[in-house]
């Protein structure tokens, strides 16, 4: 097995620093870690030196903040960038359009990688293409290191830890339920969904990949899963539940973590995600409206890549996710993950940054994995200490 890089010029390079989310990642690392002896050595990267200089100045980063020019279409520039760092954090999506070369460069050079991908068909393709080589080179390729899917991936991980502590075994079934959320979709998320829809139109086989909860567990097919696509009244919570737009990617990542860790949740594990509305007829109508909205989640004018909420909107955002672990005898436990800031931007930029730092401190072997499989509780601790997330057993 290849060993992780020991000595590089940088610990972290943020690729896509001139984009909306990449800029937030650079801003976070500068505000929280610049000038600290124990902080990572980091650099900003993108296609244009002029734009990098402008963004560096706009966010108030020091004038000597290192800048690296690299282009997604220029393999040589990507490999040169990878040789200079332990970890590349990339916000340049849709990844199915702009991510192929960077993943290949990281795998080849043994460089760790984390992104914000919510594109399971592309992720499945990368697993097939690169997993064996990533294991050889020592590169940890960590997809979905933002709101999709860290709160859900790590929420299930910690809920199962609590279940095992309480009952001596994991829960065979967990429900992920978004209790409350204030925030907006990113232009990148809308663009990723659009690119995925176009890809499915060209290649209908991808429809099955998108539908399968086990699309990211090659060689393993678990039990039939709850669909999460039909409004339902949840008696124990006294609320209606509606489809959740991120569920098709989050559920796949939860099952991949279970798969990569050797099925600590069990091979018969069932998991689904929905949004809670309210009790009674009002809640039912809201759930039905949310189901209808799933046909076109971004509306007539989806946000464009590079667009996003104001600083005030980002700072006023939040999310509250409940995980209900159900046992066959009727016992259950409630576990929550709560986060400050807009989930798609303010919190996601913090999660991606802390994933990068955690990777520099991890001795996990190379491969293509998830935040849960590579980092687990070490990342939970970082997120609680630095990113204002809380992980709590409620009963």
Does the pLDDT value for residue 307 go beyond 80?
no
Residue-level pLDDT at 186: 66
Written as six digits, the tokens of 311 are 């600083």
Pairwise CA distance, residues 278 & 280, whole Å: 7
H-helix or E-strand spanning residue 273 = strand 270-276
Could you tell me which of 359, 355, 292 has the C-alpha nearest to residue 25? 355
For residue 83, what is the enclosing H or E element?
helix 75-83
The H-or-E segment that residue 85 falls in is strand 85-90
Q: pLDDT band at residue 1, thresholds of 50, 70 and 90?
A: very low
Tens-place pLDDT, residues 239-249: 999 999 899 99
Residues 6+ apart with CB under 8 A from 394: 322, 333, 334, 335, 336
Residue range 200-212: mean pLDDT, rounded: 81
Report the pLDDT value the prediction gives residue 377, as an integer from 0 to 100. Answer: 98
Render pLDDT for 268-303 as a digit per residue (tens, 0 to 9). Answer: 999 999 999 999 999 999 999 988 887 776 666 666
The conformational region for residue 170 under phi > 0 = left, psi -120 to 50 = alpha, else beta, is: beta
Q: pLDDT (tens digit, 9 = 90+) per residue, 123-146?
A: 999 999 999 999 999 999 999 999
Peptide bond into 13 cis (omega under 30): no
Q: Which tokens belong to 98?
A: 């702009």
User: DSSP letters along 191-205, please?
Assistant: HHHHHHHHHHHH-TH
Residues 6+ away with beta carbon under 8 Å from 31: none
Contact predicate 131/101, CB 8 Å: no
Angle between helices 120-137 and 247-260 (to 10 degrees): 30
Cis omega (within 30 of 0) for bond into 94 = yes
Tell me the helices (H) and strands (E) count for the chain, helix number first.
15, 14
Note whether 257 and 152 are within 8 A (CB). no
Torsion-angle region of residue 159: left (phi > 0), alpha (psi -120 to 50) or beta?
alpha
Nearest to residue 212, comparing CAs of 249, 244, 172?
249
E-state strands within 267-363 = 270-276, 318-326, 332-340
Token pair recorded at residue 259: 């798969």
Q: What percent of the chain has pLDDT over 90?
A: 82
Q: Which two tokens stand for residue 141?
A: 């390729």
Give the highest mean pLDDT range of 36-40, 133-137, 183-187, 196-200: 133-137
The pLDDT tens digits of the residues spanning 12-64 come to 999 999 999 999 999 999 999 988 888 999 999 999 999 999 999 999 999 99
Q: Give the pTM.
A: 0.95
Question: DSSP alpha helices (H): ranges in 294-347?
Answer: 311-316
CB-based contacts of 97: which residues, under 8 Å, 6+ apart? 195
Residue 3 predicted with pLDDT over 60 = no
Helix (H, G, I), strand (E, B) or coil at 209: helix
- CA 215/CA 201 separation, integer angstroms: 18
Average pLDDT over residues 208-235: 93
Q: What is the pLDDT of residue 310?
A: 85
How far, in Å, CA of 366 to CA of 319, rounded? Answer: 32
CA distance 191 to 289: 23
- 318-366 pLDDT, tens digit each: 999 999 999 999 999 999 999 999 998 999 999 999 999 999 999 999 9
């Amino acid at each position: 097995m290849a060993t992780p890089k020991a000595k590089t010029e940088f610990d972290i390079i943020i690729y896509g620093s001139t984009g909306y989310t990449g800029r937030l990642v650079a801003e976070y690392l500068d505000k929280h870690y610049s000038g600290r002896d124990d902080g990572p050595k980091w650099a900003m990267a993108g296609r244009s030196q002029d734009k990098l200089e402008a963004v560096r100045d706009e966010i108030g980063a020091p004038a000597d903040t290192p800048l690296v020019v690299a282009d997604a279409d220029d393999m040589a520039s990507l490999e040169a960038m990878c040789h200079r760092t332990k970890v590349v954090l990339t916000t340049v999506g849709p990844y199915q359009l702009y991510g192929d070369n960077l993943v290949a460069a990281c795998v080849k050079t043994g460089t760790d990688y984390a992104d914000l991908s919510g594109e399971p068909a592309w992720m499945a393709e990368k697993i097939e293409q690169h997993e064996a080589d990533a294991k050889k080179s020592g590169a940890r390729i960590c997809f979905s290191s933002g709101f999709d899917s860290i709160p859900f991936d790590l929420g299930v991980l910690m809920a199962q830890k609590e279940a095992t502590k309480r009952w001596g075994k994991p829960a065979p079934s967990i429900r992920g339920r978004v209790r409350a959320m204030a925030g907006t979709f990113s232009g990148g998320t809308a663009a990723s969904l659009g690119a995925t829809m176009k890809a499915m139109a060209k290649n209908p086989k991808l429809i099955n990949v998108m539908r399968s909860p086990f699309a990211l567990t090659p060689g393993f097919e678990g039990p039939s899963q709850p669909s999460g696509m039909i409004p339902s009244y949840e008696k124990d919570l006294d609320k209606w539940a509606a489809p959740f737009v991120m569920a098709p990617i989050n559920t796949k990542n939860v099952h991949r973590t279970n798969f990569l860790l050797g099925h600590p949740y069990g091979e018969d594990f069932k998991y689904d995600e929905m949004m809670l509305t309210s009790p009674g007829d009002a809640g039912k109508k809201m759930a039905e409206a949310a189901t209808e909205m799933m046909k076109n989640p971004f509306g007539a004018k989806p946000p464009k890549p590079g667009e996003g909420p104001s600083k005030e909107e980002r700072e006023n955002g939040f999310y509250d996710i409940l995980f209900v672990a159900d046992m066959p005898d009727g016992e259950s436990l409630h576990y929550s993950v709560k986060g400050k800031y807009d989930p798609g931007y303010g919190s996601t930029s913090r999660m991606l940054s802390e994933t990068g730092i955690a990777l520099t401190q991890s001795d996990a072997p190379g491969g293509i994995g998830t935040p849960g499989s590579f980092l687990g509780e070490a990342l939970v601790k970082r997120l609680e200490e630095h990113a204002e997330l809380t992980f709590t057993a409620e009963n």
